[in-house]
Structure 1
Amino acid sequence: MTPVLFDMDGIILDGPRTDPQVYADAGDAALAELGADPTPAQRRDFRRHDYERIRAHCADLGIDPARFWELKETYASNGTHDRLRSGERGTYDDIDAIHELGDRTSIGLVTNNRHETAEFVADHFGFDFAVVRGRDPTFEGYERRKPAPYYIEDALDTLGVSEGLYVGDSAKDVTAGRAAGLETAYVRRPHNRDRDRPAGATYELESLIELLDIVDGANA
């Protein structure tokens, strides 16, 4: 059977990324927990992901940059989970196809988003993923995001396979999937409707439902 690995944001969760306000609130919460008093300019940087500036500001403020980053990731996950529970952030109409695929082959979730949130999404929406992999809450974990194939390769190692299909909504998903030795499916969503098909995409899909025929054909 051909395993199918899915990206999360833009494939399962509506929209291509976490709302920046979630990270802004998370940065503020982490600073408050650490008792830090940054300047307005420093606070703006802490709310974003420029880890070189964050390291420098942490040194200036006498706080542990690794601890700040971990706290920010945790608070960002908590904020995202609250938005999902409330329905403020939704899902796409075709994700039932993922449940159907789980009855036919091994499925997994590999995302640039936080690992804590990936696990929450798998549980909250009842996906029977054989592997779930999101980014680690460290500077190194952030650097390993797609288009690097690190997390996809890690998931493949967990499954004990070297072939399969990676499903995403961006060029970096295609790049990472191909670098990991997988076929790739590029899914059209409202936010990428007008973009060119990424070079090297094996399939271009209008809906996740089309994956059913692809997997059935591969397993025939």
Structure 2
Amino acid sequence: MPLPILFDMDGIILEGPRTSPQVYADAVDDALAELDAIPSPAQRRELRRHDTTHLSEHCTTLGIDPDRFWALAERYASDGTHDRLRSGDRGRYDDTIVLDELAERTTLGLVTNNRHQTAEFVADHFEFEFDVIRGRDPTIDGYRRRKPNPYYIEDALATLGIDDDPRGLYVGDFEKDVIAGTAAGLETAFVRRQHNRELDRPADATYKLESLTELSTLLDELDR
């Protein structure tokens, strides 16, 4: 069986290493407005960071349910991201063209710290043929399971039916991707992009690639 290849999304498939901070800021503002919550400027700044560090504390002070607030903010963040993709403000890397060829040769997956709703949208919008798609759940616990935790990679492997005998390659652009892929029992490929040129290659990365197009040759070598 050809080696399954799983891809990170931000910085590998989508241009840029992460969702725009402004998307999260707008999403938090929309969620607060829907919940009729009026935070102090300091609380708004903290919540706009869109992490869970002081989430419960601020939501308790504002009298809103943190789970409800988080789900709304995640939904609005997905809406904002999808609008940017539709408008062309954010696109795909040119070398993702190789995915069409790879999809004819082996199993492909998309496993990302980004929201599951957005991962599905990206696959549909750009017509990528992934056999499995797994993004983070729109919950507080889902956010905390992000890489370097291997949770979502392991879940994708389970969907593919190879969790008892993990094999494959995980492709990413940061050390957290290499850590998560290795913990899940996969080989890893660290891809050089503009945003990570100055970073050292992660020590545990199996391969270093300058372009996704190199995966075609690499798959030939691994299949021998």
TM-score bracket, shorter-length normalisation: over 0.9
Q: How does 1:187-198 map to 2 (within 5 A)?
A: 187-198=191-202
1:83, distance to aligned residue in structure 2 (A): 0.3
| Corresponding position of 1:177 | 181
Identity, % of aligned positions: 69
Q: Is the 8 A contact 2:137 2:143 kept in 1?
A: yes
| CA deviation map 1:97-137 (0-9, x unaligned) | 11211010000000000110000001101111110000011
Q: Could you state the TM-score of these two structures normalised by the residue count of structure 1?
A: 0.98
| Corresponding position of 1:72 | 73
Q: C-alpha separation between the residues in 2 aligned to 1:50 and 1:157? A: 28
| Corresponding position of 2:28 | 27
| Corresponding position of 1:49 | 50
Coordinate RMSD, CA, aligned = 0.8
Q: C-alpha separation between the residues in 1 aligned to 2:176 and 2:3? A: 22
SS in structure 2 opposite 1:197?
A: coil
1:174, distance to aligned residue in structure 2 (A): 0.5
| Corresponding position of 2:168 | 164
| Corresponding position of 1:215 | 219
SS in structure 2 opposite 1:167?
A: strand
- 5+ residue gaps, structure 1, are none
1:91, distance to aligned residue in structure 2 (A): 1.5
Q: Is the 8 A contact 2:28 2:50 kept in 1?
A: no
| Corresponding position of 2:147 | 146
Q: C-alpha separation between the residues in 1 aligned to 2:214 and 2:65? A: 47
Q: How does 1:13-162 map to 2 (within 5 A)?
A: 13-161=14-162, 162=166
For 2:49, give the aligned amino acid: R
1:215, distance to aligned residue in structure 2 (A): 1.1
| CA deviation map 1:17-67 (0-9, x unaligned) | 001000000000000011111111111111113323121111111111000
SS in structure 2 opposite 1:5?
A: strand
Runs (4+) off by over 3 Å: none
Q: Could you state the TM-score of these two structures normalised by the residue count of structure 2?
A: 0.96
For 1:216, give the aligned amino acid: D
For 1:132, give the aligned amino acid: I
For these two proteins, the number of residue pairs brought into alignment is 220
Q: C-alpha separation between the residues in 2 aligned to 1:34 and 1:92? A: 37
Q: C-alpha separation between the residues in 2 aligned to 1:183 and 1:125? A: 26
